[in-house]
Structure 1
Amino acid sequence: MRDLTFENVTVRFGSRRRGTVAVDDVSLVVPAGQVVGLVGESGSGKSTLARAAVGLAPLSAGRIEPAPGHRKIQMVFQDPYSALDPRMSIGESIAEAMPSVDRAEVGRLLELVGLPADRARERPHLFSGGQRQRVALARALAGQPEVIIADEITSALDVSIQGAVLNVVRELQRRMNLTMLFISHNLAVVRYVSDIVAVMREGRIVEYGPVDEVLGAPRHEYTRELLAAVPHPSR
């Protein structure tokens, strides 16, 4: 286990004169063994920061440790339907991420995310969106990561199955003491799974701290706006 550290990270697309700054001088620590929930509106730079951590978005400035693209950082993406190769069984997809193929370990990982081991031979089209996202989590774990980045992993799922996937995430984190950057626009989701919350706006981190502290007594006006926008059953 290790921290995931962003130091003065900037990601710019295009030229300096006509480009767009998606991430602007961000410094952020995801402490080892904890979940940091990164929250903000669409376009705030959350996913770009995640992609930079796994080497899919080039840094314009700053540094990330572990280095971008390091095999000990694994990412689970938003769309469960494009994340798995339809030509491969789910067992093959999971084994592909392993240092050496181990069928018993593939079965163990499937059971760890709440799927029967005997489904390893089946293709992705036989699985629901929630089940595919569980497979994606198993595949991320197969790489024996030190850090997992989960990018809006429930936003493409039906509300009825989001909770089940979130419960899997919480249970995995507790059992394996995972270090995780959990990205979402949903404050209720972030509150449920995170130890720490970081609030991102227009490419910058505007608030960071323990989740109950930040969401219970936010200091920044933007955080208060996000909280005010959360629907309540009584409304």
Structure 2
Amino acid sequence: MSELRFDAVSVRYGHHLAVDDVSLTVPSGQVVGLVGESGSGKSTLAATAVGLVPATAGRVLVDGAENHLRKVQMVFQDPYSSLDPRMSIGGSIAEAMPRGTDRRAEVARLLELVNLDPGRATALPSRLSGGQRQRVALARALAGRPEVVIADEITSALDVSVQGAVLNLVRDLQRQLGLSMLFISHNLAVVRYVSDRIAVMKSGRIVEEGPAERVLAAPEHPYTRELLAAAPRRHTRLEAS
């Protein structure tokens, strides 16, 4: 388990400041839900954590160290574009493993971990549903043996009927493996289901952050209150397996 920390991170694209002086900590073994509308800077912040986007200012640290990229893995939003369509799902998972790993056995273990039949390791992504592909994407992220996982809108492209099952899986995996996780969504109903802490992002800045119970019960910022008012009282069939 490791702590992920954004230390005064800013990201600028030309004249546009996408992330503005963000300081945020994902405590060891906890889930921080990062919520905000599209364009608020959430995904840019996530991409900075895994080295896909350079920070204009500030630092991203894991346990106080900047050389952390092997410790952080990301699961992307679209399960249809995150896997190579020409590669078997077992091959995609094995590709992310450290050298010296018994790949066949580890692929089978990881597929079982995400509730998929190991016998499907030879299947191409086109043979899977969106929910199954997202499970493979989770297995691929775990193949790198990360200490921190960033989940970026991983249910937004899925049918409502399977969102709950994927969220249950994410919650169970995080608890079972003791992962630190940054869980990103525009949907506060989803974020509150999996998070120990909640951070609210608007126009590139964190406008509110705290324990999930406090943020949900007594939001301090007007934007948080807007998000809470717009969220369903209960996320549809989150308890579904």
How does the TM-score come out when normalised to structure 2? Answer: 0.93
What residue in structure 1 maps to residue 227 of structure 2? 226
Q: 1:131 aligns to what SS in structure 2?
A: helix
Q: Which deviates the most, 58-67 or 70-79?
A: 58-67
Whether the 8 Å contact between 1:11 and 1:22 is mirrored in structure 2 is yes
Counterpart in 1 of 2:13? 13
Q: 1:115 and 1:175 mapped to 2: Cα distance?
A: 17
Give 1:72 shift.
Answer: 1.1
2:39 alignment partner AA: G
Q: Distance in 1 between matches of 2:232 and 2:46?
A: 27
What amino acid sits opposite 1:89 in the alignment? S
TM-score by length of 1: 0.95
CA distance in 2, matches of 1:132, 1:227: 30
1:180 alignment partner AA: M
Unpaired segments ≥5 residues, structure 1: none
8 Å CA contact 1:2–1:147 kept in 2: the answer is yes
**In 2: Cα distance, 1:213 partner to 1:80 partner:** 33
SS of the aligned residue for 2:11 comes to: strand
The separation in 1 between residues aligned to 2:185 and 2:217, in whole angstroms, is 18
Task: Give the distance between the partners of 2:170 and 2:89, measured in 1 at CA.
Answer: 19
User: Percent of pairs identical after alignment?
Assistant: 72
Given residue 176 of structure 2, which amino acid in structure 1 is its aligned partner? R
Pairs within 5 Å for 1:191-202? 191-202=192-203
Structure 2 unaligned residues grouped into runs of 5+:
235-241
Q: Give the counterpart of 2:61 among 65, 73, 83.
A: 65
Q: Which amino acid counterpart does residue 80 of structure 1 have in structure 2? A: P
Using the alignment, how far apart are the partners of 1:68 and 1:24 within structure 2?
A: 22
Please give the per-residue CA displacement for 1:215-235, whole angstroms capped at 9, x wherever unaligned: 1110111100111122458xx
- In structure 2, what is the equivalent of residue 74 of structure 1? 73
Once the two structures are superposed, residues 84-124 of structure 1 have per-residue CA deviations (whole angstroms, 9 ceiling, x without a partner) of 00111000000000013421110010010010111101110
Q: How does 1:119-138 map to 2 (within 5 A)?
A: 119-138=120-139
Structure 1 segments of 4 or more deviating over 6 A? none
